[in-house]
Amino acid sequence: MIKITNLRKRFGDNEVLSGVNLIIEKGITLVIIGRSGCGKSVLLKHIIGLLKPDEGEIFIEGQDITKMDEKGIYAIRKKFGFLFQGAALFDSMDVEENIGLALKENTEMKQDEIRSIVSEKLEMVGLPNIHKMKPADLSGGMKKRVSLARSLATNPEYILYDEPTTGLDPVMSDQIDDLIRDLSQKLKVTSIVVTHDIFSVYDVADQVAMMHEGKIYFHGTPKELTETSDQLIRDFLNRTDKRI
């Protein structure tokens, strides 16, 4: 379980997180929504220890990572896979090298073992036999899938997705959503998805958290989100639907 208590973060005069309180139960898929600039991606970076809060606590399996040194955070971070918004693949490396990088750098595995894991993860994301392709030769959707395969290479317990469908057409977005849902069910991982795509909420979420003005404004099921009479949430959902 992940428990976040009174999390605050300021950049200059801008307080991005203004006291976030959130519990993320093990094994669920939580989708975080909200307007641009409300702190969604900043919250993700705190959960994985890429940013330190000004105040507050983040408990991961009972351990407060805000009190840890770099060695402790690094050990916790091994439990996580992270799908970056822009895929963040290394252009100079082929697909196999990108996916196997963490295994090569952090384990004693031989190349044959790494290649076997790469093949397994590529099969999982529906992209077999592209080991030697370079990122420049991949479509946007393929890059996202390769990035996801890379995040799966270390068999994480948690997967964080930062805008996984941004820049993709509706068909490819649906395929990525299907993949997130299938992996969550098959691997029993805890998934946290930041998105602007309201269709993704209904496709993948067990629970939804809506951020507003640096706080968690709503936390419930997709059904509860849809049926709420709260005007701020209704306005957000209506604007999102119109944009789509």
Q: Please, what are the domains in the chain?
A: 2-79+158-243 (3.40.50.300), 89-155 (no CATH)
For residue 74, give the H/E element and its range.
Answer: helix 70-77
Give the separation between CA 78 and CA 102, rounded to whole angstroms. 10
- pTM confidence score: 0.87
Give the separation between CA 157 and CA 239, rounded to whole angstroms. 34
Q: According to the model, what pLDDT value does residue 243 have?
A: 42
Low-confidence ranges of the chain (pLDDT < 50): 242-244
For residue 42, give the H/E element and its range.
Answer: helix 40-47
- Across the beta sheet with 63-64, what order do the strands follow? 14-24, 2-11, 55-60, 63-64
